[in-house]
Structure 1
């Protein structure tokens, strides 16, 4: 039971649209968190069982562009889990993210993810939760790819994004544009969530930052995993599926470190 805390397992919420999330960015973090005994809940709009982007899972699109074999295996395990089969609803009046230690936002560029990107209810929930990650705190938020855009769209009472002052990364515009240009002849505007000619994820996220020149971090090298951790909040971000494993592992290290420090403080002799 070395992975469990004295107060019980870490509770994680995965926020998902009904369809379209990237399977690697969803299943790999889930697998990592479950390995450490964390308790995961899947949260969709009306408690519908979600489905990840099928083009990333099978056929020629999977072979050329999609999830690698370990991610497909992890996704298969995820979809057979109790939490996947029995999701929670973010529309329930009594639902709050404040009940969770970690909020995780996978990405995905299929147009189905607009359901979460544009959800006023999700924005409200994240505007309530994200400030609680300010250090020192036990709560943590992590996002990858388009998941960061969900946070960028979430504004508090000030009308400013919850990301206003944090350091972050997300899907770089160069990567998104390259994927779109190289596939548009046979996939159309598949790689543009809001359609051809619309802004990239990087553009959306940068608009939410107080000073993008200082707060935006990126690496255009897809071969090396890249994760950004903010100094003032328990907030971590990644760019694309290749960062999912490292992002999840860094979340585990951060959260276990926080709880270890708190445990020592609580048991320090008076």
Structure 2
């Protein structure tokens, strides 16, 4: 993965970009550093205003297995991403997140809401949070086109959306959407390939739990709405009716970021 170029931004573009409010919704620990730091770096370069939100306002920490040691070298973040993560982790916005437990907190003020993924079991804090699910249920309908609000989710981050239900219908907020998430083929290969030395690390809900793809697909109106490929090359899905972009795994993070920025830029071209 190449470093995201620090492309100069014109004064007019900076003025527009500086008004784009972005928030990363995270657990206290366990998110994938690539799926977090790559979008962060891209949005920061684009001039967006970035915030983080955790349960109690504690600074989040991404999965250490993906940042150092043997697991990082074999399976984790690439060297340039580790550098991006360190920069992100020292930023004021990362060190001082907002709290989703605060009754006054809402996703409504944000133009872009990002749900990174991660395999560590600690990410269940955000996936299973009734408060986060309530916030998502309130916010996701605001992304219906021609709205200019965007939701993006990668890997296990899609499970936050699939678990969030419309209180009126009981259906997932993404029931009618095209989406992707971590494919079963990727998850099973990683799990069985590392089981001897990592145990059930690649099964966030434990050995024997259903795959992410299965969990997401079952809440959709039709299985055909789950789009995927086992080609490791960059892949994302953009829904036709909602400003919702999803991706499968860290290898998609760069394209995921670029497509969100393109979508923002397309709004600015609408007269």
C-alpha separation in 1, matches of 2:182 and 2:77: 17
Q: Out of 146, 156, 173, which is 1:146 matched to?
A: 156
- String of CA shifts for 1:86-136, please: whole Å, max 9, x gaps: 100011011000010000010001000000010000000011111110000
Is residue 17–residue 48 contact of structure 2 (8 Å, CA) maintained in 1? no
Q: Are 2:111 and 1:101 equivalent residues in the alignment?
A: yes
Question: 1:5-16, aligned counterparts within 5 Å?
Answer: 5-6=15-16, 8-16=18-26
Note the residue ranges of structure 1 that are not aligned, 5 or more in a row.
266-270
Question: 1:204-223, aligned counterparts within 5 Å?
Answer: 204-213=215-224, 215-222=225-232
Residue in 1 that maps onto 2:176? 165
Q: Are 2:100 and 1:90 equivalent residues in the alignment?
A: yes
Q: 1:6 to 1:52 in 2, by over 3 A?
A: closer
Report the RMSD for the aligned CA atoms in angstroms.
1.0
- Structure-2-length-normalised TM-score: 0.94
Query: What secondary structure, in the 3-state scheme, does the structure 2 residue paired with 1:91 have?
Result: coil
C-alpha separation in 2, matches of 1:6 and 1:29: 18
- Structure-1-length-normalised TM-score: 0.94
- Deviation for aligned residue 1:250: 0.3
Is residue 135–residue 233 contact of structure 1 (8 Å, CA) maintained in 2? yes
Note the residue ranges of structure 2 that are not aligned, 5 or more in a row.
1-10
Residue in 2 that maps onto 1:268? none
Runs of 4+ aligned structure 1 residues displaced above 6 Å come to none
- Deviation for aligned residue 1:8: 4.6
Query: What secondary structure, in the 3-state scheme, does the structure 2 residue paired with 1:236 have?
Result: strand
Question: 1:237-248, aligned counterparts within 5 Å?
Answer: 237-248=246-257
Query: What secondary structure, in the 3-state scheme, does the structure 2 residue paired with 1:255 have?
Result: helix
Aligned length: 260
C-alpha separation in 2, matches of 1:13 and 1:161: 21
Query: What secondary structure, in the 3-state scheme, does the structure 1 residue paired with 2:237 have?
Result: strand
Is residue 119–residue 201 contact of structure 2 (8 Å, CA) maintained in 1? yes
Residue in 1 that maps onto 2:45? 35
